[in-house]
Structure 1
């Protein structure tokens, strides 16, 4: 925000230069971006009166001028200009002067005649416009002679540009900066005059009705101005607007812009002729509605845009810009002043969506104080009366349903000193807070603070400490050693189990990878996920970095495949990766998504299905789970239908593992087989038991019996082992597979499988009779359940 220093001085005494003021304000928390002083580089240029002009004896195009610069003796300057005459007052750069662009002037000779300087044009002073300049700059005849040209032309004006943060909308105004200036310098500031007397006996309440249909408008105030005279604003107002970067238009529009810059409250003026229904309605636009704003651009609105309507016809975009259909014209005779307060988030979103960020929207989007509305309206009416721009009507329409009131805070002064590392008295604290309009009363050690409604950034005691610190001076606060209390933290159960998983994976030779949780919608097709899969029901990112990061992932297959593909593209012959990450499963619209913790393992290069299965078995073992079961899975389209299995613990699914479908590998540019496992860690951790249990060494010997059976080729080894253990009961200690054979002497479609079964009883030595009984039971179970034949 640009604040002209001359405007700032209307409300607060400033007796230091602009640069020093900018430095002090920066130290007190108001960040200054730039201090610009017009004509700052111009040195030793004064106003001079041409007393005599004579021709140059040796040059037809040059003349010799004797000029009066307010000294006893005249100064001689030679020039080639032709547009001046005796008696004219011109700018004169004397010996040692510096002009615009750093040009230095020294006395010298022109064609043998001494010249003690140079008379200047607008171009040399840096104030020429776009039009070419011919000749010297001729000043008004009543200009005082011998004064600094910057004073004569008003070139010594300074403007300070501030970076206003989103938590300080009160500083988006000249008065707000004046308040900060007064607090910083320890002086007082004055509010502008706001008192006026209605000159028109007509009451606006009898001529206009206002209705608010949406809660996005917190307050709406309207007043009427009759017998309006549209004309240019006075020079002082135009000068302040221009210095602040706003183009003057006419007195009524300039008043609304002046008040907005002065107090930080946007306003708008409607031509009363265009409000044909005599009713203003604050409501949302219709989807697809077309509307032409003051910049003469037609915009397409939707139902999220809050508008000001004349009955059904839109005449302004609330908090953003007025409409071309109700602008103030040269023949406008009656004006309706609007001053309102709108919900900031809605203004910011719609301003961005419409590509229309204005001085008004930049203030509303920061949640300005609704109590500013009346101050701004009173000030605008005062200026109308002061400028003779019209007659203010009686009455005010003011709809303000939820009054915003001042906050009360109680803060211990001892806390302030402990927090800041200072030793300030509570009286000093009160003084600093009172400077900022934070009216404070002291009760023993407690500061009772009344926080004005325009300070939306002050809510807790630490905020009060910050206000005291910045006015006291950050540079005065000494360095202290922070007082901390060391506490020994402990990892929760999940983190401990994560560590076990990570150690297990690293121990198996895998490297940990990390991927983004937001992915591209294209990954579903790349991972061969079916069109009707629930995994495609995703959560979209509101402000994505791009399409590749626009949704939250519901599967980690794509992330792992991208990592494997990156390794493969760099000619890594083998890759062994794992990732512990989250997937996000969408719930009902008004509920947060389910976040599942997933262990993903990805391998390729000199591996097969048994490698990925072995890794998963080690994971289960690390979690204290003796055995998991694996059931064939052929419906997962991302995996090879014949080399995929689901992992179960009892009847609960833990995840899936297997070979990735060749089409998926092709989509990622991988020409070798890849094997993945996805394990639901939340489900696995619920089954985990990390408590190490002591088991005594066996006292009694084991008995081992070998069996070789003939089964159908389709029978799974896992089913055979399950049948053996179930039939053998507690006496079976271990089942070891040691041979699988197909070939000669084995019928087509059959396979021979050999096991070593270890029997043991913890309480006694087994007899052959006891072992034979259980062994026979196992053989019968194998024959009955899976059709096995003993070889």
Structure 2
């Protein structure tokens, strides 16, 4: 919020320099970002009056003038053609300094002494759009009578300081000069002067009506009618203030609405009444697919949740955001309808975001505005229009305000606040601070009943009152004390520790962690060949995305992983192994999206195959305590090779999928090598993993190892063999390990040899050969019976 200090002084006396003012305001919660002083580069420029003009004796294009500056009369030589005797002009004296580093020296022009220089608006640094067209060329002339010799900076209002405040979203009341003045008055212990509003109305009465279809979206709408409007530039002082506050002057009517918005914080809008086709304003929701052209000439596509201002026949404005080109005030405007309204903050915020259109008005409405400002701002604008001769104000105004808002009431405990602050602030000082902030206070027993002013939308509870007391009392006045009591340390959650263990395990196996954006292109699922009916095509769309490549929230990590793999492959990286742990997002009716954390793996190398990624996953699962899962061949996953893909299952839950990426998918990513990838559900893994590892003592009794070589058909999976071994171990099989798979000579075609090393051990006693043989022989029999496995001799 840019605040010209001179404007602020209209409402509060500031008797400190700008640096001290900025420091004090910052300490009471109104943080000052920057201070800019105007007129520092202008010195010794005063008001002068031209008494006499003569032709230059030695130059046809120059004139010699006598200029009175009050204390003396100076001779000035100039080539200006627009000056005449009696004109008041800015005169730069000898030794003067002007913007751009220009310094004025005494000298002669074609033999005639010149004791200074008359100045143009450009030489004084006056913005081009603040200068009347007739004064843009040549010497700048002053319209009013000013004291001769007076500093031109005071005359033109350029001896000012501009203070930039950082306004947080919880203090929309400070998005105005009055809001800052209110804070300054409390900070400096001064009295606040509100603008005196007195509207001079003509005898003609207003005849107009306002209908609001949904008062929750528009709690209040008021309007006045102005006739005999004269569109012209606004006065210099108003233009100057607007420009300093960051608003471009347009014409007197628009400038007045902007001036009042900056002054009071209530946006206003002026409609050309002749372009409104009825005597009735209707505030309604837009219709799906409805189109509307705004003041900037852009046709906007609306949806059914946007609020419109209409004349009953056509839209004339997008409520709280921007007016329409079809009701714009122009130089031909004769009558205007002046709007002052209060709109639902959430509705304006959503509309502004969807349209990608953020204005001074919408930025205020979306934070919330005091509903009582509607009438005040409307009357203030009408007052200025009448005072500046811009039109006649009709008698009365229309005001649709069906559900008046009551001020919030809060009960606070001063003793409790003192305890929390660690200070003993007297009760009368409590009340004095709160009343200076315009809170109404009444003491009931040992508690304060407080009525919150309507402009303080951020005050809801006792803690908010505590903050108000603390910042005005002064944080620097509250003593610093050592904390007492038991100290605590911050601990990681079980989930954070679990994720850290996964990362550490994968890094230890040689994988690098990658991070990718959560917002992606919808075309990513096309590249991994997901079918049209896939649930992972149901995206959450981003409003106003940076581009199509970042227009939706991701539903799977695989496209991002393959993008990274492709980037490394295209840059001639010989081998790659990476992982990512990140969220995916799925829509859920009208509720917040479902966020699920997933783990993605991606790797390629000439020496890697399906069993490389399988081994990485198995070792990871062992490290985190995930056991008793099944690896099931998967032939129908569209992203993976049909013969080299498997699902990880636990009970009836699919925990993840891994395998070799389908050649068609690799072609989409311009990859000409085999790539292996996996996507695993982090949350299911966390749910089923055995995180509480317990101490297990070393075995007391010796083990017996037996090797077994089996001849089985090619289509028999190792898992089938291992399931039989587990089911028939009788508690004596400590572990078993596959150490050989052989196909070739001496092995019948269509068969393979699978060899296991099985370790037998009892936790209760030393096993005998007979006891081991009994279990071992039973396993062999079961393998023969269930999967037709024969011992290879």
Structure-1 separation of matches of 2:124 and 2:66: 21
* Residue 487 (structure 1) shift: 1.0
Whether contact under 8 Å (2:577, 2:601) holds in the other structure is: no
Partner residue, 1:189: 192
For residues 682 and 133 of structure 1, the distance between their equivalents in structure 2, rounded to whole angstroms, comes to 70
The worse-fitting range, judged by mean Cα deviation, of 353-362 and 781-790 is 353-362
Cα distance between partner residues in 2 of 1:434 and 1:50: 55
**Structure 2 match to 1:13:** 13
Distance 1:603 1:209, change over 3 A: same
Match of 1:400 in 2: 402
Deviation at 1:454, TM superposition (A): 0.8
Name 1:369's counterpart in structure 2: 370
Verify: 1:95 aligned to 2:98, yes or no: no
Matched, 1:437 2:435: no
Once the two structures are superposed, what CA deviation does each residue of 1:124-151 show, in whole Å capped at 9, x if it has no partner? 5455857797776666796544444445
Residues 479 and 544 from structure 1, CA distance in 2 versus in 1: closer, same or farther, beyond 3 angstroms?
A: farther
Residue 243 of structure 1: aligned partner: 241
Q: Is the 8 A contact 1:159 1:243 kept in 2?
A: no
Task: Encode CA deviations 1:755-775: one digit per residue, 9 max, x unaligned.
Answer: 555666666777777666655
Q: Could you tell me how far apart the structure 2 residues matched to 1:701 and 1:262 are?
A: 89
Shift in alpha-carbon separation, 1:108–1:349, aligned structure 2, 3 A: same
SS in 2 for 1:593: strand
Aligned length: 782
Q: Could you say what secondary structure the match of 1:637 adopts?
A: coil
1:167 to 159, 170, 173: 170
Q: Secondary structure at the match of 2:591?
A: coil
CA contact (8 A) 1:736 1:755 kept: yes
How far apart are 1:282 and its partner, in Å?
1.0
Distance in 2 between the 1:781 and 1:550 partners? Answer: 57
SS of 1:367's equivalent in the other structure is: coil
CA deviation vs aligned residue, 1:614-670 (integer Å, no higher than 9, x gap): 333333433446654433222223333223333345665443333333444454454
Change beyond 3 A, Cα 1:299–1:598: closer
Q: 1:312 to 1:512 in 2, by over 3 A?
A: same
Is the 8 Å Cα contact of residues 88 and 141 (structure 1) preserved in structure 2? no
CA distance in 1, matches of 2:776, 2:158: 110
* Partners of 1:696 and 1:159 in 2: CA distance: 78
Question: Is 1:620–1:628's contact at 8 Å kept on the other side of the alignment?
Answer: no
What is the deviation of 1:11? 3.0
Q: Which residue of 2 aligns with 1:219?
A: 219
* Match in the other structure for 1:289: 290
What corresponds to 2:346 in structure 1? 345
| Structure 1 residue 453 displacement after superposition | 1.6
1:168-217 Cα distance to aligned partner (Å, 9 max, x none): 32233332233233223321122223455876485x6xx54432113453
Is the 8 Å Cα contact of residues 581 and 597 (structure 2) preserved in structure 1? no
For residues 651 and 603 of structure 1, do their structure 2 counterparts lie closer, same or farther at Cα, with a shift above 3 Å needed? Answer: farther
User: 1:373 deviation in Å?
Assistant: 1.5
Contact kept, 8 Å, 2:627 with 2:689, in 1: the verdict is: no
In structure 2, the CA distance between the partners of 1:256 and 1:42, relative to structure 1 (3 Å rule), is closer
2:648 is aligned to 647
Q: Distance in 1 between matches of 2:84 and 2:328?
A: 48
Assess if the C-alpha contact under 8 Å between 1:583 and 1:598 holds in 2: no
Report if aligned partners of 2:701, 2:762 keep a CA contact under 8 Å in 1.
no
SS across alignment from 1:400:
coil
Aligned counterparts of 1:103 and 1:175: Cα–Cα separation in 2: 38
Structure 2: segments with no counterpart, 5+ residues? none
Q: For residues 658 and 746 of structure 2, what CA distance do their matches in structure 1 show? A: 35
- Listed as ranges, the matches of 1:603-614 within 5 Å are 604-614=605-615
Distance 2:749 2:547 in 1: 57
Contact 1:426/1:442 (<8 A) preserved: no
Hey, what's the Cα distance between the residues in 1 that align with 2:80 and 2:774? 130
- The structure that has the greater radius of gyration is 1
Aligned partner of 2:712 in structure 1 is: 711
Paired with 1:693 and 1:35, the residues of 2 have a C-alpha distance of: 66
Change (3 A) 1:210 1:783: same
For residues 370-406 of structure 1, give each alpha carbon's deviation from its aligned partner in whole angstroms, at most 9, with x where no partner exists.
1212323444555577678446445744323252423
Match of residue 414, structure 2, among 409, 412, 415: 412
Asked if the contact 1:100–1:126 (Cα under 8 Å) also holds between the matched residues in 2, the reply is yes
By how many angstroms is 1:355 displaced? 5.8
Question: Does the C-alpha gap of structure 1 residues 97 and 429 become closer, same or farther in structure 2, counting only changes over 3 Å?
Answer: farther
| Deviates further, 85-94 or 711-720 | 85-94
- Aligned-pair distance for 1:105? 2.5
Distance 1:91 1:605 in 2: 82
1:244 match: secondary structure = helix
Show the counterpart of 1:631: 632
Task: Give the CA deviation at 1:308.
Answer: 1.9
How many angstroms does 1:597 deviate by?
A: 4.2
Task: Tell me the alpha carbon deviations over residues 510-538 of structure 1, each in whole angstroms, 9 at most, x when there is no partner.
Answer: 44444444443333233343444333333
> 2:264 corresponds to which residue?
263
3-state SS of paired residue (1:360): helix
By how many angstroms is 1:456 displaced?
1.9
- Report the Cα offset of residue 121 of structure 1: 5.3
Aligned residues of 1:200 and 1:391 also touching (Cα < 8 A) = no
Q: Aligned pair 1:680/2:678, yes or no?
A: no
What's the offset of the Cα at 1:341?
0.7
Alignment of 1:304-315 (within 5 A): 304-315=305-316
Give deviations 1:335-394, integer Å, cap 9, x for gaps. 654321111233244345556544433332221111212323444555577678446445
User: How far apart are 1:563 and its partner, in Å?
Assistant: 4.2
CA distance in 1 between partners of 2:680 and 2:60 (Å): 98
RMSD: 4.5
**Normalised by the size of structure 1, how large is the TM-score?**
0.82
In structure 1, C-alpha distance between the alignment counterparts of 2:388 and 2:116, rounded to whole Å = 45
Does the CA-based 8 Å contact 1:2-1:244 persist in structure 2?
no
**Offset at residue 714 of structure 1 (A):** 2.3
CA distance in 2 between partners of 1:75 and 1:771 (Å): 124
1:222 touches 1:336 (CA, 8 Å); kept in 2?
no
- What is the distance in 2 between the residues matched to 1:87 and 1:575? 85
Determine which of 179, 182, 190 is the counterpart of 1:179. Answer: 182
Q: How far apart in 2 are the matches of 1:406 and 1:720?
A: 74
Task: Supply the distance in 2 between the matched residues of 1:223 and 1:519 (Cα, whole angstroms).
Answer: 46
Paired residue for 1:455? 456
Q: Specify whether residues 461 and 64 from structure 1 end up closer, same or farther in structure 2 by C-alpha distance, changes over 3 A only.
A: same
Other structure's SS at 2:218 match? strand
Per-residue CA deviations over 1:42-70 (Å, capped at 9, x if unaligned) read 33334445666778787787776565443
Q: 1:620 to 1:429 in 2, by over 3 A?
A: same
Counterpart in the other structure of 1:785 = 786
User: How many angstroms does 1:332 deviate by?
Assistant: 7.6
SS in 1 for 2:11: coil
Q: Which runs of 5+ in 1 are unaligned?
A: none
Residue 401 of structure 1 aligns to a residue whose secondary structure is: coil
Structure 1 CA distance, aligned partners of 2:304 and 2:123?
Answer: 55
**2:400 counterpart SS class:** strand
